[in-house]
Amino acid sequence: MYDVAVLGGGPGGYVGAMRAALRGAKVCCIEQGLLGGTCLNVGCIPTKAMLHASEVFWQTSVAKDYGILVDKARVDSAVFMKRVGKVVAGLRGGVGFLLKKRKIDVINGRGKLAASDTIEVETDNGIQQIKAKSIILAMGARPVRPGFLPWDCPDLMTTNEATTAKDLPKSVIIIGGGVIGCEFATMYAELGIPVTVVEMLDSLVANLDEDISKAVYESLKKRSVNIITGSKLMSVTPGESAVAAQLENGQEVTAAKVLVAIGRVGNVENIGLEAVGVEVANGLVKVDDHCCTNVDGIYAIGDIAETRQYAHLASRMGIVAADNATGHQSSDDRSVVPCGVYTHPEAAAVGLSEREAKQQSKDVRIARFPYSASGMAQAYGQPQGMVKIIAEADIGGILGGVVIGPHATDVIGEIALAMRCELTVEELAATIHGHPTFSEAVGEAAEAWLGLPLHGIG
């Protein structure tokens, strides 16, 4: 009998397992695939390795602006992808080492709930029954694969195939202009690969702040990406030398590969939820602030319990669930969750967007500090970007923030911490920031919000 059994070894599952073990519990982690889940193996980590490499290559095209002369650079596709695989394998090995170090039993196989305290695992050696006082469900998600597309075509791929391919495509059509699609578009375009992005909505990354949407659009256009918005994909037709995508607007585009990046869906089917009575609504397991389901002793975290499919959110939920499963009260209302777009420049946001804050009829005041006035951004030669603070006009309570520019996904953490600790804009402005840094732009934006802009013009 285990104290805690975790079903899923992704960034939520293995973190939850380690937290429970650190709390003194006897723990097992059940995973049918590779440790690390989507994030480590076919998501966050390989895409960031690819994006960093593409940025290195892209910088060679502008190196002369820095007084550095580079002879014509070339991309070795095989070496490019081999490095990505090496990064992933190294980190996956690290996860396995940590689980072993914490004496967590890793069970390879497909798990299924048989009772509120039992998981049946289909292993290579037959069915294994796992009993546990508490169970944490962390099955993750998979790419959406529309049924009308010809998935037997080897030139049609999801992000799973794109991140594990042996080489790079000659040209590509990306279906979906969300965060994932735009990151892949950035990477491919920087490597000189012709890219077309097709998005059914009227703008890219439409669920994020409008300033981010504009910045991503401008960045992709600068990299010669063909962007088609406001049109659905109707069909895909494989050909001998290319794949053709037919669009709702009557247009047809062709490329060597088609990457479908229209989202992910939680793995909640055929896992025994209904039999045990775990409540599911709109494809998500219902949980409270403690990550508890409606069944005592069963917790759910990550992509099966949240619409925001972020690895860092899954990890936080794993910690909360593990604490509660081991008798330590823990909760998180998940109202402060930063998100990042790893395009170039990067973009990040936390809390309400400007549009959302105004729609909620809040009396808000907005302030921006442009990176064109940042010493560090100018020194880097990357002045495109800004910090935006959205706050209550009367008391300065921070409702949201946006950062666009180098290291935006790091800088946003300061605004997230301020929101978490319920600091005001005035307190943010009074915090001494190092100089020169990108993060000092947060303090500058706060000063601008107070009506006391220093290096900006208000």
| Residue 45 pLDDT > 80 | yes
Cα 78 to Cα 82: distance, rounded to the nearest angstrom: 6
Mean pLDDT value of segment 47-63: 96
| Residue 234 pLDDT > 70 | yes
pLDDT in tens, 93-141: 999 999 999 999 999 999 999 999 999 999 998 999 999 999 999 999 9
Q: pLDDT over 70 for what percent of the chain?
A: 100
Q: Beta-carbon neighbour count of residue 265 at 10 Å?
A: 15
Cα 100 to Cα 123: distance, rounded to the nearest angstrom: 19
Cα 128 to Cα 143: distance, rounded to the nearest angstrom: 29
| Residue 458 pLDDT > 70 | no
Q: Token match 């962007």: residue?
A: 227
User: In terms of Cα–Cα distance, which of 170, 295, 315 is closest to 243?
Assistant: 170
| Residue 457 pLDDT > 80 | no
Confidence (pLDDT) at 241: 87
Confidence (pLDDT) at 240: 86
Q: pLDDT over 90 for what percent of the chain?
A: 96
Domains of the chain: residue spans and CATH: 2-143+265-325 (3.50.50.60), 156-262 (3.50.50.60), 345-449 (3.30.390.30)
Instruction: Provide the mean pLDDT of the chain.
Output: 96
β-bridge partners, 28 = 5, 105
Pairing of strands 264-266, 280-281: unpaired
Query: For this structure, is 455 an active site residue?
Result: no
Mean pLDDT value of segment 223-251: 96
Mean pLDDT value of segment 146-172: 97
Exposed/middle/buried for 72, CB within 10 Å: 0-12, 13-18, 19+?
Answer: exposed
What global pTM score does this model have? 0.96
| Residue 353 pLDDT > 90 | yes
Confidence (pLDDT) at 196: 98
Confidence (pLDDT) at 416: 98
Span of 292-296, 343-347, 360-364, 393-397 with lowest mean pLDDT? 360-364
| Residue 261 pLDDT > 60 | yes
Cα 35 to Cα 141: distance, rounded to the nearest angstrom: 14
More confident residue, 203 or 125: 203
List, edge to edge, every strand of the sheet that includes 386-392: 339-341, 347-351, 398-404, 386-392, 364-370
More confident residue, 414 or 275: 414
What dihedral angle (degrees, nearest 10) is formed by the CA atoms of 444, 337, 395, 214?
50
| Residue 64 pLDDT > 90 | yes
* pLDDT band (50, 70, 90) for residue 200: very high
Cα 167 to Cα 81: distance, rounded to the nearest angstrom: 6
pLDDT in tens, 422-445: 999 999 999 999 999 999 999 999
* 436 CB-near residues (< 8 Å, 6+ apart): 374, 375, 376, 379
Annotated active-site residue in 52, 312, 328, 435: 435
Confidence (pLDDT) at 361: 73
